[in-house]
Amino acid sequence: MIAFLSPFFKQWKQEEITFNEFIRLTRSFVSSCCEPILEQTLINNGRAQVDIPIILNQFWNLYEEKLGEQPEIGQFSVQYVFLILKKKINI
């Protein structure tokens, strides 16, 4: 397992990026991981295909708004688990 903290919060606190850049970068990172899951959930729950982009856009705008009000939610840890499968070859 590999874990790392989001670098954007630290960069903002150290004034390496602006607050708006922190929000934009955090949204971009989180949405790249979560949007496919959210989209599939909307599909599975019978949302019209035409409504899905609108709902997702509203969701991410709300996420940005809340992140602007509570920037500490952008200080998160991400964990990855990698599983390596090897094929056993009988000789």
Position with higher pLDDT, 55 vs 83:
55
Token reading at 88: 């056993």
Confidence of residue 50 (pLDDT cuts 50, 70, 90): very high
Amino acid code (one letter) for 63: Y
Token reading at 20: 């708006």
* pLDDT at 35 (0 to 100): 95
| pLDDT tens-digit series, residues 8-48 | 999 999 999 999 999 999 999 999 989 999 999 999 999 99
Residue 80's SS3 state is strand
Report the alpha-carbon distance of residue 31 to residue 37 in Å, rounded. 10
Domain-wise residue ranges, the chain = 2-80
Percent of the chain with pLDDT over 70: 89
Reply yes or no on whether the pLDDT at 80 is more than 70: no
**Do the Cβ atoms of 3 and 78 come closer than 8 Å?**
yes
pTM here is: 0.75
